Amino acid sequence: MKKLLLLTTGGTIASLEGENGLAPEMKGDELLSYLSGINLHCQIDSKPLMNIDSTNMQPENWAKIAISIYEHYDNYDGFVITHGTDTMAYTSAALSYMLQNSGKPIVITGSQVPISFQQTDAKRNISDAFRFACEEIGGVYVVFDGRVIQGTRAIKVRTKSYDAIESINYPYVAFIYNECIHYNLPIDTSKNKEIKLDTSLCTDVLLIKLYPGMKPEFFDSLKNLCKGIVVESYGSGGIPFDRRNIVEKLNDLTKYGISIVVTTQCLEEGEDMDIYEVGRKVDRNTIIRSRNMNTEAIVPKLMWALGKTGDPQKVKMVMETPVANDLDFNTYKGSEGNGDRQERIPN
C-alpha cells in the first residue's frame, strides 16, 4: 500500500461561507473526512502548510511547499497538494523548477466548488489526485476534471466551469475515468533519481501586455524597478516600431542589463519572431525567446533564473533550455497540442 502526504494550502476546495464570502477554513483531516466510502488503496497523512485563497499565493509560499516536499521526500511514495485554482498554474510551474529530478509524483489539485457543498467537483478531483500520486511516475502534475497535466503546461481558462484547467501547447499526460488511469503519453518510471531542491528566486519581475497606443516612454521608468520583464506581444511575437517605437525601448533595456522575455498574447502555438519584420527587429542575441511556453510558466522560471544569476546571457541560456517539458521548439497546432481536447473522455 502506497503512503502519501497531503499538503493543504487553502483554496476553494477548503472554503466555507463567511460574512465576506467564501474563504478557506478547512484543514487536511476535514477534507479527508468527505472521502469516506471511497476506496483509494493508500495510506494518507496530512500536513497543513497555509490556509489562503490562491489569489494571495506568493513566491515565498512556493518555496515553503517545495521545502516541505523535499523534507518529507524519503518518507512517502507520493504527494498531493490542495490549492486554489486562480494561481494553481503558477505554483505547479514554480514547483517544476524548484523540485527537479523527482522520481515520485507531486500532484496539485483543487476544485471550482468547495468540498462541503452538495454539488462539488472537489471529491472527484482529490480522489483522482490520490490515485495518480500512487503511480510509478516522477515529476510535478496538475490533476483536474479527469485530466493529468504537465506541471509547466497548465492554464486556468475558465472561471466557473469544472473543466477550468487545461493543458496548453502540450498533450495531456493521462485521463482518469472509472477510477482508472489511461496514459496519453509514454512515461518515465525510473526510480534511481535524486531529487534536487533549488528555491532561489528573484521576484523583481514584471509582466506587461502590449496594446495599441502604448507609450514607449513607459519603459524608461522600468530601468530601476525590475531585473526581468515578460512582454506579452501580438501574434507570433511582433513588437511595434512604427510611430510608437517599443522595439527600441526593449533593446535599450537589454543594454541596461534587464532580461526581456517575449511571448504572445495568443493562448496557443507560441511565438515565432522569425516570421515577420515586427519580430525580426528585436535584438534576438539578447531578447529571450519563449517559443511555446505558457506565461504561467515563464514568470516563475524567470524568477528562478534570476535567482541563480544576474548575468543576462546566462539568464537567457537558462530560460531557453527546456525544463520539465516547459517549452518546445516545434509549434503544436490545434488539438494536437492539447492532447485530443475535442475527444476528451466524458465524465
16: CB partners within 8 A, 6+ apart? 22, 23, 25, 26, 114, 116
User: 267 near 155, Cβ under 8 Å?
Assistant: yes
Torsion sign, CA atoms 18, 24, 26, 32: positive
Q: How many residues does the chain have?
A: 347
The DSSP string of 225-264 is: T-SEEEEEEBTTTB---SSS-HHHHHHHHHHTT-EEEEEE
89: left (phi over 0), alpha (psi -120 to 50) or beta: alpha
Residue 298 in grid coordinates: 515563464
* Strand duo 139-144 + 105-109: pairing: parallel
99: CB partners within 8 A, 6+ apart? 66, 69, 70, 106, 140, 195, 196, 197
8-state DSSP, 121: S
Q: HSE-up of 281 (CA within 13 Å, CB side)?
A: 15
Catalytic residues: 12
